[in-house]
Amino acid sequence: MMINYKEQIAKILVEAEIGLSLEEIKEIIEVPSDSKMGDYAFPCFKLAKVLRKAPPMIAKDIAAKIADNALFEKVESVNAYVNMFLSRDAFMDHVVSEIVKTGKNYGRSEMGKGKKIIVEYSSPNIAKPFHIGHIRSTVIGNAIYKIYDCLGYETIRINHLGDYGTQFGKMICAYRHWGNKEDVIKEPIKTLLSYYTKFHVEVETHPELDDEARATFTALEKGAPEEVELWQWFRDESLKEFNRVYDMLGITFDSYAGESFYSDKMPRIVKELEEKGLLHESQGAQIVDLEAYGMPPALITKSDGSTLYLTRDVAAAVYRKEHYNFDKNIYVVASQQNLHFQQWIQVVELLGYEWARDCIHVPFGLVSLEDGTMSTRHGRVVFLEDVLNRAVEQTREIIKEKGVNTESLEETAKAVGIGAVVFQELSNNRIKDYVFSWNKVLNFEGETGPYVQYTHARACSVLRNAGEDLVNKASQLDNIDFSHVTGDAAYNLAKLMYEFPNVIIDAAEKYEPSVVTRHLIDIAQGFNRFYHEEHILVPDEAEKLAKIALVKAARDTIANGLGLLGIKAPEKM
């Protein structure tokens, strides 16, 4: 177990009898932004009232009292602050040994043991393109799943497919007018998209097509065999295409229960709303009035009696609670849907389900194209598969140009190309909108996925050059003298790695994978600074072993961090 240094310092300060509790002290302890001011600092302003002294005097007294503690190399008082410098030898020994011992499990914990989390993400629409806009929900959701899984939660991944609704009436209608089976089998999504686009062009001059599409969807809802068969076929063909992209991204799901799955579960919800007196009629439709909560009414059934997304989402949440008994039900869905989520979660609460607030909407900003927004109706989309393939192609060319010695060119090109796309996606704060640019995605310079992967490969190369015997010896941690790795670069790298488990917890609490991404860049930069400033494979064996142990710790931490983001860590690049 890694020592909690903040807690240790707080205990030392409690023993110094400064008149504050352990928890109060922990709250006040700071980590200075400038390491010249120590590893930890304790401001004494709060003690002025208690001890009736000026803060600089209090800081001087405390520094004198705790200076001899073995945890510290030195303790200084600067104005109203007590600045504490940890004993570097002991810190390096503890941190590096702990990471080397835990290896691939470094960062994992059991804080979520016995708790169940659902993460719903990706959720593309059947028979429509899996486009660049879907990458956000897909990779943010996958990273959130991996982060919670790493913290010991039982985590269920749900792909809530958009496989229901009036668009299927339009799609079936368009297929009957202009479609043929061979084209759909050859290129399902692109072909079905072309039919859907044609429908929206034709309906301008033939408005009767809309009535036909509505009638077709009603037949589908009522289980008409021919419509159901076409719908099932579109669904199966679309899933084959989607799975090709999921395979490229290394993503799998535990359930593909989409919108259609909940169709027979909605009447119960409507009945419960009726029984609780929550339903009101408005222009023939049934609504739940949410004015008291500062929201427009929630539309439950349309005037023709058909149900809506909101009803379906309430039914889905109730089913998930009863089926999985979740502790948290997380939805990774674009910020455009903020009001929709606020409304249906409020409806669940009004129904008397005390777990309503365990349903959490994790919103994210939108992706637009450099020449405007995407539109499925007008066929203006960038296919996600094309983006991934182009990234792999470009990476393959770069590897060939640089003459990189890799066992498998194809595997490395895939790991780095796809990793670049995913890392770039996860390096922005999720709530920010951004414009998709080929140049940005395929730029491998600077703070990018390939930079972090290359740092991992560099650490692997150092360990290969050290030789298996020395690496094994360093891994056994027998009598390693860590005083050989107490220079600033080595020490700062170890401090960054020490924070890694806390970063994972922070990312989980904020539902924000970019917290991990940014920290990985810091670790990679820290490792490269150490690599450039210190000669690692030196003649002196004691020094060499300490440095090999540090390199191994860095390699494992970077690989674990990339793993949380759903990115591979190549050993050669």
**Residues labelled as active-site residues:** 128, 131, 134
Give helix then strand counts, H and E, for the chain: 22, 12
CA nearest neighbour of 91 among 553, 556, 563: 553
Q: What is the DSSP letter of 509?
A: H
Give the amino acid at 545: L
73 contacts 88 by C-beta, under 8 angstroms: yes
Where in 226-332 does DSSP place strands (E)? 279-282, 285-288, 298-301, 328-332
Whose tokens are 């982060």? That residue is 147
CA nearest neighbour of 10 among 18, 39, 2: 18
Please tell me whether residue 223 adopts helix, strand or coil conformation. coil
Q: What share of the chain is helix, strand, coil (3-state, %, to 5)?
A: 60, 10, 30
In whole angstroms, give the CA distance from residue 386 to residue 232: 26
Measured at the CA of 461, the angle between CA 455 and CA 464, to 5 degrees, comes to 150
5 contacts 86 by C-beta, under 8 angstroms: yes
Rounded to 5 degrees, what are φ and ψ at 134? -75, -15
127 contacts 220 by C-beta, under 8 angstroms: no
* Strand pairing report for 434-436 and 367-369: parallel
188: how many CB neighbours lie within 10 A of its CB? 21
Please tell me whether residue 75 adopts helix, strand or coil conformation. strand
In whole angstroms, give the CA distance from residue 258 to residue 164: 8
CA nearest neighbour of 285 among 267, 301, 262: 301
How is residue 337 written in tokens?
Answer: 């849907």
HSE value, Cβ hemisphere, 13 Å, CA-based, for 250: 15
How is residue 318 written in tokens?
Answer: 């109730």
In whole angstroms, give the CA distance from residue 562 to residue 452: 8
In whole angstroms, give the CA distance from residue 242 to residue 249: 11
305 contacts 314 by C-beta, under 8 angstroms: no
CA nearest neighbour of 213 among 203, 228, 201: 203
| 279-282 β-sheet, strand order | 279-282, 285-288, 298-301
286 contacts 269 by C-beta, under 8 angstroms: no
> Directed axis angle between helix 449-466 and helix 541-564, to 10°?
150
195 contacts 178 by C-beta, under 8 angstroms: yes
